[in-house]
Chain A
Amino acid sequence: MREQQLKDILRHMPAGVATLQGPELRYGFVNEAMQEVLGASVTEGFPITECPGTLPADLLEVMQEVYRRGQPYVAKAYRLALSSEGDEPGRPRYFDIALEPVREGGGEEVTGLLLFAVDVTGQEEARQRTHELAIETRRLDTRLRVLTETVPQITFTVDAKGNYEYVSPQWYYFTGQPPTADLNAMWPLLIHPDDRLRILYQTDAARTAGIGWSYEYRLRRHDGQYRWVLSRALPELHAPDKPVFWHGALTEVHDQRELAEALRRGEAELRFLADSIPELIWTATAEGFVDYYNQYSEEYSGLLSKDLGPTGWINLLHPSEQANAARRWVHSIATGESYEGLFRMRRHDERFRWHIIRARQLTDARGLRWFGACTDVDDQHRLREVLQTQYDELARTNRDLDTFVYTASHDLKQPLFNLRGLFDELRRSASFDDPQESQILTMVDEALRQLDLTLQDLAATVQDQRGLSAPTESLDLRNVADEVLLGLRAQVLESQAEIELDFEAAPTLTYGRANLRSVLHNLLSNALKFSHPGRPPHIKVQSNLSDTNQPILTVHDNGLGMELPDMPTPVFQPFTRQHPHVAGAGVGIYLVQRIITSRGGHLEVTSTVGQGTAFSVYWFDA
């Protein structure tokens, strides 16, 4: 009964059990698990060599050896090619196979073998996986090592106590230390003395807090030079709050730092320079937002940079000039054109002073920026205004006097002519008794001739003095116009006039230089003087040829214009003034006309009130 029970247990055991009997090793008891291992259905009583199943030849030999020697043997993780269901080869299975010699009745003689087969496929596969993993880990480890030893950075690992566990060979190249150097002792000594305490403290603090670090310090190189390096490290956490190692890298940043330092120094010096200049100096971004005002700007305005703000300088301008200045600034930003203007700027004491504001664009590697300066020209401006007024006054008086003399001498000619006629008539018709009286007549004649000469001389003197009778020469119109405009520079700047010169069709003119200057000066200064208050003057000067190939000069403006009576040439009487509110003696155009007519030409004018005037000079009537 018990034997039957034992057999049942053996039959259903998960490990394979079989008995082999006699030297031929005939199958005895084979349990189910062993049946499965051996595959082919083995029959009791058959020798194992005739029905080996899945057992390979080498194992059969070993079995015979065990039987002969009587020594047990265990084959660990022995691979058996079990045939699976169907024909495809199954995955390899591994068994621990134990061979135990059986001695019947306790004798010395071996009578059979006990064969055990325990399936260890799972364990074996796990072992193989572990093995493969180990190979992979070694591969990764090698790769990491190659990488860390090839990059220019020094890499390192520090443990929780702060000891260097690993440092890449670059550290030894960089520092020139022998491979035997004690890392933990040497490293702090190689840090620049001025940085050492800070670095040791910061490292400790980061380690205590369990966080990474990033700082720069000077490390001594093999040649004794201290070089700036950037040290960055991150903790390796083994639990959310348990850093075990810090891995990091050391990068040499010396050159970048020197460059940045040089830039900072350069910028600081420039800033110091800008702050030392008693002018308002500022810079603006590409978008036109002022991002820096120098110290003097703050002193002058009595405002801080942050209160001035990106467009605050406009607030400092005279209210009547703000919109114009702002529009031109926006225009400059949009087009990149330099900015220039003459404006009144409010000082901290509420006084306005004239400034020339200039700004230019700079494009370099750091992008686009604007640099501006406001130069105080108030004193010059006021002085110039006074001088200009006085000069204008004097010039006008002078001109008026000349004109008066010229006109008077001219106008006196007619009465003189009449007087001479009357005397001739008197001499012809009257008789004189006293011979002395005819002598008086001769004397009158003589006096009249003298008077005529004096008048002629007077006119000639005025003409000579003003160069009006100078000989003609070939003149470059642009040259003369530029000279004249130079003299009118103040008025041009002040009125922000746009002046267009187009002399291409007839660039030269044969004329008296002083005469041409006088004509251009009068026409241009008139156009500037009688400008429309609502718009800056736009003056167009053109030189053309007429149908008969004679030169014509036109000066076209967009000023006040004037009312023209129906008569052909009425405007040009001396001392008639179209715009009483504008300063002048009213002789300018009269003189122009006289000059032109005296040289054989004529002057024409067209005008629309409120829109503008065009003067046409026909230099020579054909």
Chain B
Amino acid sequence: MIHIIYISRAVRPLSDQDLQLLLDQCRRDNAQHNVTGVLFYSHGNIAQLIEGEAEVLEPLFEKISRDGRHSNVMKLVDKPINIRSFSEWSMAFHPLEPAGFEQLQGFLLPNRVPPVPSSLTIADATLIDLVRLAVFGADAAATSVLPQA
């Protein structure tokens, strides 16, 4: 099993509807291929962690990096892991109209992202925190996913 973390820029800002479509589509596809992880989106900034079998993730990332809806895809980490740190695939973003989103399966408000489990090294947890910071801005620093001392 491996996990991949990347950041990218959306070619144009995604609307609430775009985001909901993306959430539905990815959740279905990812559940089918046993891919778990989390996607952060804000103001055109995208970051995603995906975990799964290498033979699934490698072509998936290949497909993601060719997707015309975003550009400047920068892969930060691609390495073997022993166990999954996420039980499902979810998305965290600020909808313009939050009503209705809260009930959606797999949707998270950016300040509600739970701390990562200890199965993730602190270096990787830090990377997720930095990625969150890069996507959501300095406000995200207040709700670190790093384990508390």
- Residues on A lying within 8 angstroms of B by beta carbon are 287-289, 309-315, 322-324, 326-327, 329-331, 333-335, 534
Contacts and interface: CB of A to CB of B under 8 A. Distances in A.
Nearest to A284: B130
Contact of A311 (B126, B133, B148): B126
Contacts of B138: 334-335
Interface in B116-138: 121-127, 129-131, 133-134, 138
B149 A310 contact: no
Contacts of A334: 133, 138, 140-141
Nearest to B147: A323
A301 to B, nearest CB: 12
Contact of A314 (B79, B126, B140, B147): B126
Contacts of B31: none
8 contacts: A288-B130, A309-B76, A311-B127, A313-B123, A315-B122, A323-B122, A330-B129, A534-B149
Contacts of A323: 122, 146-149
Contacts of A322: 122-123
Contacts of A314: 121-123, 126
A326 B126 contact: yes
Given A310-B127, A311-B124, A314-B126, 11 more contacts: A310-B76, A310-B77, A311-B130, A314-B122, A322-B122, A323-B122, A323-B149, A334-B133, A334-B138, A334-B141, A335-B141
Contact of A309 (B7, B123, B129, B141): B123
B141 A326 contact: no
B125 A326 contact: yes
B26 to A, nearest CB: 23
Nearest to A322: B122
A326 B146 contact: yes
B144 A330 contact: yes
Contacts of B146: 323, 326-327, 330
Contacts of A313: 123
Given A310-B77, A315-B123, A334-B138, A327 B144 contact: yes
Contacts of A310: 76-77, 127, 130
Which of B79, B122, B133 is most buried by chain A, counting CB atoms within 10 A of its CB? B122
A367 to B, nearest CB: 13
A331 B133 CA distance: 10
A327 B7 CA distance: 21
Nearest to B129: A330
A289 B76 contact: yes
A369 B121 CA distance: 25
B147 A312 contact: no
Contact of A331 (B124, B141, B147, B149): B141
Contacts of A330: 126, 129-130, 133, 141, 144, 146
Nearest to B76: A310
A333 B133 contact: yes
Nearest to B141: A334
Nearest to B137: A334
B141 A329 contact: no
A319 to B, nearest CB: 8
A287 B144 contact: no
A334 B124 CA distance: 18
Nearest to A330: B129
Contacts of A324: 149
Nearest to A335: B138
Contact of A326 (B77, B122, B133): B122
| Closest 6 pairs between A and B when the two form their complex, measured CB to CB | A334-B141, A314-B123, A287-B134, A326-B126, A322-B122, A288-B130
A311 B144 contact: no
A534 B149 CA distance: 8
B130 A287 contact: yes
Contacts of B123: 309, 311-315, 322, 326
A287 B122 contact: no
Nearest to A332: B141
Contacts of B121: 314-315
Contacts of A331: 141
Which of A323, A330, A534 is most buried by chain B, counting CB atoms within 10 A of its CB? A330
B33 to A, nearest CB: 25
A323 B118 CA distance: 11
Interface in B80-125: 121-125
A335 B122 CA distance: 21
A289 B76 CA distance: 8
A309 B75 CA distance: 11
A287 B77 contact: no
B129 A326 contact: yes
A361 to B, nearest CB: 13
A310 B7 CA distance: 13
A313 B125 CA distance: 13
Which of A322, A331, A334, A534 is most buried by chain B, counting CB atoms within 10 A of its CB? A334
Contacts of B144: 327, 330
A289 B130 CA distance: 8
Interface in B54-83: 76-77, 79
A534 to B, nearest CB: 8
B78 to A, nearest CB: 9
Contacts of B122: 314-315, 322-323, 326
A287 B130 CA distance: 6
Contacts of B148: 323
A324 B122 CA distance: 10
Nearest to A309: B77
A333 B77 contact: no
A310 B122 CA distance: 12
Nearest to B138: A334
Contacts of B134: 287-288
A312 B149 CA distance: 20
A583 B77 CA distance: 46
Which of B126, B130, B146, B149 is most buried by chain A, counting CB atoms within 10 A of its CB? B126
A357 to B, nearest CB: 14
Nearest to B124: A311
Contacts of A335: 138, 141
Contacts of A311: 123-124, 126-127, 130
